[in-house]
């Protein structure tokens, strides 16, 4: 029954309490990736456990040795992320050297280091996550006054997630509940970070207006060259669904300079059930080196939507593919690179109509 399922309000309250556990140790700008990382670990592990149980039932007729081999075969899990033993929330294991390893839910010491190893193992087992997790989320880094988060704090956070709901779609009030809760977290951290939060979050009302102007539809490609945490791309897909279309029949592409924000964006796509989009999010400086290419040249897109960073400097000597800037060069210093972003938006648009929308996107801020 729907009343027994997790509501968005319940999940938001649960995540609020998770943030409170870390809030006393550091600023929101420092701990946001930790909450996102643990949430991601719990979600993919819960989904893996569900799929694993389904495989056990389906192949229960097999001899134990054959069944165990099948359950540890990455190819058995289809579109579900394969979670190595080291990263399973609920299952302990003994490695080839006879060393016992606790399940994540039972971690008690060196927790930051163990969480790093868990994330790294997931990335190594799933190609779509290459470069996303272990290079951008470090549970063992120093924070605040150069103090690592204590094991007792990590234990409280893990215990909190362990006491919460099993994060599988069947438990949710609506299919994209976890994605909506993730968006809530992004806004929470942006609000807490003040002005700095604008680096990865654009207010929902602004995004909604821009998407309505763009009118994305099935079968097209949508691009955000400064995608932050990915909200504009996600709302583009959601708009298609609201119009009666299939949100998975739009190709989403983005690029983000900041490594941690790029990782948050990729996880955002995955938690919105769009792993293909996560594979299309690149990490790098769009002005100096746009990374989306097709047939040997930089690709163009049906719709371009962005909230570019304003008042930036850039280095002309580092810029690749200068043909993008046919309307001229802004001064490199004095924080006057706005014109460069306008030209990037126009260049990567397929039609003049889309270019016009790109310009509206920029000036509407």
pLDDT tens per residue, the chain (365 residues)?
A: 445 799 999 999 999 999 999 887 677 777 888 999 999 999 999 999 999 999 999 999 999 999 999 999 999 999 999 999 999 999 999 999 999 999 999 999 999 999 999 999 999 999 999 999 988 999 998 766 667 889 999 999 999 999 999 999 999 998 889 989 988 988 888 887 665 555 678 888 889 999 999 999 999 999 999 999 999 999 999 999 999 999 999 999 999 999 989 999 999 999 998 888 999 999 999 999 999 998 878 899 999 999 888 888 999 999 999 999 999 999 999 888 889 999 999 999 986 555 444 444 444 44
pLDDT attached to residue 203:
86
* 42: Cβ contacts below 8 Å, ≥ 6 apart: 89, 161, 164, 167
Selected from 3.40.50.150, 3.10.20.30, 3.40.50.1110, 2.30.110.10, the CATH number assigned to the domain covering 200-363 reads 3.40.50.150
Predicted pLDDT at 7: 94
Token look-up 């550091």 returns 26
| Domain boundaries along the sequence of the chain | 2-181, 200-363
End-to-end CA separation in angstroms for the chain: 43
Nearest to 197 by CA among 184, 205, 188, 206: 188
Per-residue model confidence (pLDDT) at position 245:
95
Compute the distance between CA of residue 161 and CA of residue 288 in angstroms, rounded to an integer.
41
User: Can you read off the two tokens belonging to residue 128?
Assistant: 């779509």
Residue 142 tokens read as: 């120093």
In DSSP terms, 9 is beta-bridged to none
pLDDT of residue 239: 96
Secondary structure letter of residue 228 according to DSSP: T
What three-state secondary structure class fits 33? Answer: helix
The CATH number fitting domain 2-181, selected from 1.20.1260.30, 1.10.287.130, 1.10.10.10, 1.20.810.10: 1.20.1260.30
- Give me the pLDDT at residue 359, please: 46
Rounded CA separation 265/324 (Å): 26
Instruction: Dump strand ranges (E) for the chain.
Output: 93-94, 100-101, 142-143, 147-148, 221-224, 251-256, 281-283, 293-294, 297-298, 303-304
pLDDT at 364 (0 to 100):
41
Q: pLDDT at position 197, please?
A: 58
Q: What is the dihedral of CA 233, 348, 350, 261, to 10 degrees?
A: -10
In terms of DSSP H, where are the helices of 215-287?
Answer: 231-242, 259-271, 275-279
- Helices H, strands E: what count in the chain? 12, 10
State the pLDDT at residue 194: 64
Residue ranges of the alpha helices (H) in 59-100?
64-71
């Amino acid at each position: 029954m729907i009343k027994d399922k997790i509501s968005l309000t319940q999940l938001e309250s649960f995540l609020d309490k998770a943030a409170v556990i870390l809030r006393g140790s550091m600023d929101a700008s420092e701990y946001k990736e930790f909450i996102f990382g643990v949430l991601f670990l719990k979600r993919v592990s819960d989904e893996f456990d569900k799929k694993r149980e389904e495989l056990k039932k389906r192949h229960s007729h097999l001899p134990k040795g054959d069944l165990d081999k099948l359950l540890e075969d990455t190819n058995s899990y289809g579109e579900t992320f394969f979670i190595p033993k080291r990263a399973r929330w609920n299952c302990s294991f003994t490695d080839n050297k006879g060393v016992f390893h606790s399940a994540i839910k039972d971690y008690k010491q060196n927790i930051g280091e163990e969480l790093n190893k868990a994330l790294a193992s997931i990335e190594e087992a799933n190609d779509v996550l290459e470069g996303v997790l272990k290079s951008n989320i470090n549970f063992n880094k120093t924070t605040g006054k150069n103090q690592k988060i204590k094991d007792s704090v990590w234990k409280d956070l893990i215990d909190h997630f362990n006491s919460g709901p099993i994060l599988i779609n069947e438990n949710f009030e609506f299919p994209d509940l976890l994605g909506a809760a993730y968006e809530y977290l992004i806004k929470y951290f942006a609000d807490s970070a003040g002005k700095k939060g604008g680096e990865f979050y654009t207010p929902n009302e602004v995004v909604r207006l821009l998407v309505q102007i763009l009118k994305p539809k099935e079968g097209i490609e949508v691009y955000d060259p400064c995608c932050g945490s990915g909200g504009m791309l996600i709302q583009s897909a959601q708009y298609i669904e609201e119009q009666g279309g299939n949100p998975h029949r739009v190709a989403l592409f983005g690029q983000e300079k900041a490594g941690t924000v790029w990782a948050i964006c990729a996880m955002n796509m995955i938690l919105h059930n769009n792993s293909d989009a996560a594979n299309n999010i690149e990490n790098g400086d769009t002005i100096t080196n746009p990374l989306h290419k097709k047939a040997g040249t930089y690709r163009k897109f049906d719709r371009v939507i962005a909230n570019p960073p304003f008042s930036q400097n850039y280095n002309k000597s580092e810029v690749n593919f200068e043909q993008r800037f046919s309307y001229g060069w802004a001064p490199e210093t004095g924080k006057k690179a706005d014109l460069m972003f306008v030209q990037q938006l126009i260049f990567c648009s397929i039609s003049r109509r889309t270019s016009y929308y790109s310009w509206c996107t920029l000036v509407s801020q």
